[in-house]
Structure 1
Amino acid sequence: MSVLGDGFYDVPRGRIAIVVTHLEMTERPPRQVPRKRPGWALRHEPALAPSDYRALFRRIGEPWLWFSRLSLSDEALAALLADPARGVWVLESEGEDAGLVELAFDRPGICEVVFFGVIPDLIGSGAGRFMMSHVLVEAWSRPGVERLTVHTCTLDHPRALAFYIRSGFRPVRQQVEIAPDPRLAGILPEAAAPHVPLIVEAAG
């Protein structure tokens, strides 16, 4: 994999540049009992329908330009969600699906937090801490797990990195990803994530 040198690099029109920070946890942290708001519950979903997963993924991620799961076909997403090496949990808030956790155990000794987020109305409410407490118990209770990993990027909430560090993760690596802008492909509306510049091919 190539390594960038110092300096500026042009991003092709129609693409977005994403700075990704990888974090890991190699020791089980002390168990904490988070404050739980009445009406919250974390529900394990061993066979979530692709349409339900995609709808929740969009509600959580559209403001931040999450797109990877939206570009999958129903068949591909269903196969991924049915993978026994993965687990999906949905946060219920007042009877509404409002948060998502996806874990992967497909690498020996590693649990990856693949997706983690809540709808905009719950940001800052403590819902993330409530969900993370369950993630840590679930991950470290699996036999053979020696490392818990997660990544955040510039398509996440600006406080996501600090949240993961407070939860016990430490940054270990950064990458730059170049990807097609999902708004130009119609995967997300052009108004999504206004903090990410939408740059198209110049006319003429």
Structure 2
Amino acid sequence: MQATEVTITYLQMLERDEAQVPSSLPAGVKIERAAHASPELARWLYATVGGSWYWYERLGWDREKWQEELDEVGSEIWLLTVDGTPAGYCQLAAHIESSSGRISAETEILYFGLMEFAQGKGLGKIFLQQMIVNAWTLAERHPLPSIGRVWVHTCTLDGPYALANYEARGLTSYGSSTENVFLPAEPLGSWQTMFATAPHSNLSDEKHPSAG
């Protein structure tokens, strides 16, 4: 383990009409909701996409904890597939806010990323455009108040284009923070992470939304 300085950037979109119209999908590419997402699927996606980017913090979760999160109102997992092959995923989460007697909901882009073979093909742009639209329409699919904000945070451990992708899609920064964390010298990679059973860093899982 070695101490590493990590900067976390927080981004948001406050108006639904700021969401970009998603570009057309290339031939063979689909974006679909995993309507019957299981803990096994969620953990596999997390490890496979995040293994190259220090996504370790949830590897110590038991099946019940994964299921508990999937059962939360507004929890969704969306899959990007290329020729029938999983190529990326996005996990959305709803948060209920109460202020001055008014109840509203927000959508967090909890995790977003592409598998290695799908990177560098422009799919991250299209996928994120669609996921922002889906984040705004979350209340149309779940018993939630109307969505008043979409937000995400990313960090310097994530993919080199993650922050730029978020900003280019209309999300704007509203703050950042820096902390020192202990990490292995190199990420484990997707294969080893898939079979790992314990955390390998002290970085909160809330700091890792993206590998895009």
Q: TM-score range by the shorter chain?
A: 0.7 to 0.9
Residue 169 of structure 1: aligned partner: 171
The answer to whether residue 59 in structure 2 is matched with residue 61 in structure 1 is no
Alignment of 1:112-127 (within 5 A): 112-127=108-123
Q: Does the C-alpha gap of structure 1 residues 32 and 164 become closer, same or farther in structure 2, counting only changes over 3 Å?
A: same
List aligned pairs for 1:145-164, cutoff 5 A.
145-164=147-166
**In the aligned structure 1, how far is the partner of 2:107 from the partner of 2:94?**
5
The 1:103–1:177 alpha-carbon spacing in structure 2 relative to 1, beyond 3 Å, is farther
Tell me which of 29, 32, 37 is aligned to 1:48.
37
Aligned with 2:52: secondary structure?
helix
TM-score, length of structure 1 as denominator length: 0.76
- Structure 2: state its 5+ residue gaps: 98-104, 140-144, 193-199, 201-212
Question: Which stretch shifts more, 55-64 or 170-179?
Answer: 170-179
Structure 1 stretches of 5 or more lacking a match? 1-12, 193-197, 199-204
The alpha-carbon distance between structure 1 residues 188 and 74, as it changes in their structure 2 partners (threshold 3 A), is: farther
Q: Quick check: 1:46–1:81 contact (8 Å CA) kept in 2?
A: no
Task: Indicate how the Cα distance of structure 1 residues 135 and 14 shifts in structure 2: closer, same or farther if over 3 A, else same.
Answer: same
Q: Is the 8 A contact 2:6 2:156 kept in 1?
A: yes
1:31 Cα shift? 4.0
Aligned sequence identity (%): 28
Instruction: State the superposition RMSD in angstroms.
Output: 2.8
- CA distance in structure 1 between the partners assigned to 2:179 and 2:35 by the alignment: 31
Q: Is the 8 A contact 1:60 1:119 kept in 2?
A: yes
How far apart, in 1, do the equivalents of 2:163 and 2:8 lie?
A: 10
TM-score, normalising length: structure 2: 0.74
Contact 1:102 1:114 in 2 (8 A): yes
Cα distance change of structure 1 residues 107 and 180 upon mapping to structure 2, 3 Å threshold? farther
Partner of 2:25: helix, strand, or coil? coil
Relative distance call for 1:163 and 1:96 in structure 2 (3 A) is same
Q: How many residues align?
A: 179
Distance 1:79 1:15, change over 3 A: farther
Q: Which structure has the larger Rg? A: 1
